[in-house]
């Protein structure tokens, strides 16, 4: 399994390239900035990018989609409830402020619970985990879950942005993520990795709510 993290942009977003080792097919999760850096790795490793998936539509997670889509032809997937954020004036203003290109519209809208097949032995299960944004998703792949800005090591995503909801993010984490096995590795949108088991026992947002 290909599982490459590239930290991009001033907000240090974790962009992940996840794929099938034998076939070199891959998905790019959250290409928020520095498209040239991401594309350099893809071309060096001769990776066939099939999908670009955003865990949510905040500007720091979508800023390199236009460049990567133009170069690879990959389909852009986003949850239907985040289209409003993708097209919001605040998002466009932040993209401009960061000196990036506006994101294209999604090629496919997802709802949650879909299975996205990449190759015979690699499937992405979409978990709808709203709260940070209404259309926030996490992606479960084998023994890894890519949580975007829902769950971090020792913390959770902010809910003070427009359309954020603290009750929703706590519910999402408890009903969608904390039902996973303790040994599932959490790969968040920012910061270091953790595990479901560690967060279940130690994340104060979960143990005290």
The whole-number pLDDT of residue 120 equals 85
What percent of the chain has a predicted confidence (pLDDT) above 90? Answer: 96
Task: Say which DSSP state 180 is in.
Answer: S
Q: How far apart are CA 105 and CA 78, in angstroms?
A: 9
User: Tokens at residue 96, please?
Assistant: 């401009």
Nearest alpha-carbon partner for 72 in 40, 111, 94: 40
Q: How far apart are CA 108 and CA 200, in angstroms?
A: 33
Give residue 21's pLDDT band: very low, low, confident or very high (50, 70, 90). confident
Nearest alpha-carbon partner for 53 in 163, 137, 152: 137
Do 119 and 133 meet the contact criterion of CB atoms below 8 Å apart?
no
Tell me the pLDDT tens digit for each residue of 81-90: 999 999 999 9
Tell me the pLDDT tens digit for each residue of 164-194: 999 999 999 999 999 999 999 999 999 999 9
The whole-number pLDDT of residue 1 equals 92
Q: How far apart are CA 91 and CA 100, in angstroms?
A: 11
Mean per-residue pLDDT of the chain: 97
Tell me the pLDDT tens digit for each residue of 47-66: 999 999 999 999 999 999 99
Q: How far apart are CA 176 and CA 174, in angstroms?
A: 6
Q: Who wins on pLDDT, 24 or 17?
A: 17
Q: Is residue 101 predicted with pLDDT exceeding 90? A: yes
Tell me the pLDDT tens digit for each residue of 106-131: 999 999 999 999 988 899 999 999 99
User: Tokens at residue 121, please?
Assistant: 């032995």
Q: Is residue 209 predicted with pLDDT exceeding 80? A: no
The whole-number pLDDT of residue 131 equals 98
Q: Where are the domains of the chain?
A: 2-207
Of 3.40.50.300, 3.50.30.10, 3.30.470.10, 3.60.15.10, the CATH number of 2-207 is 3.60.15.10
The whole-number pLDDT of residue 128 equals 98
39: which residues sit within 8 A by CB, 6+ positions away? 67, 68, 71, 72
Distance of alpha carbon 34 from its chain centroid, rounded? 16
Average the pLDDT over 97-105 and give the result: 95
Hey, which bits of 22-79 come out as E strands?
25-29, 48-53, 75-79
The whole-number pLDDT of residue 208 equals 84
Average the pLDDT over 145-155 and give the result: 98
Q: How far apart are CA 176 and CA 206, in angstroms?
A: 13
């Amino acid at each position: 399994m290909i599982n490459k993290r590239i930290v991009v942009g001033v907000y240090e977003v974790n962009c992940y390239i996840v794929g099938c080792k034998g076939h070199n097919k891959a998905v790019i999760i959250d290409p928020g900035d520095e498209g040239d850096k991401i594309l350099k790795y893809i071309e060096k490793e001769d990776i066939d990018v099939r999908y670009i998936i955003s865990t949510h539509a905040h500007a720091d997670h979508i800023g390199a989609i236009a460049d990567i889509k133009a170069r690879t032809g990959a389909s852009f997937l986003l949850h239907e409830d985040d289209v409003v954020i993708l097209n919001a004036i605040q998002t466009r203003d932040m993209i401009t402020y960061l000196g990036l290109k506006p994101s294209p519209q999604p090629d496919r809208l997802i709802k949650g619970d879909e299975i996205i097949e990449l190759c015979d032995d690699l499937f992405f299960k979409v978990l709808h985990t709203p709260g940070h944004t209404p259309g926030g998703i996490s992606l479960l792949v084998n023994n890894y879950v890519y949580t975007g800005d829902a769950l971090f090591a020792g913390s959770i995503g902010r809910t003070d942005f427009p359309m954020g909801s603290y009750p929703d993010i706590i519910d999402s984490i408890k009903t969608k993520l904390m039902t996973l096995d303790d040994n599932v590795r959490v790969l968040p949108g920012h910061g270091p990795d953790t595990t479901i088991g560690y967060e279940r026992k130690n994340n104060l947002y979960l143990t005290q709510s």
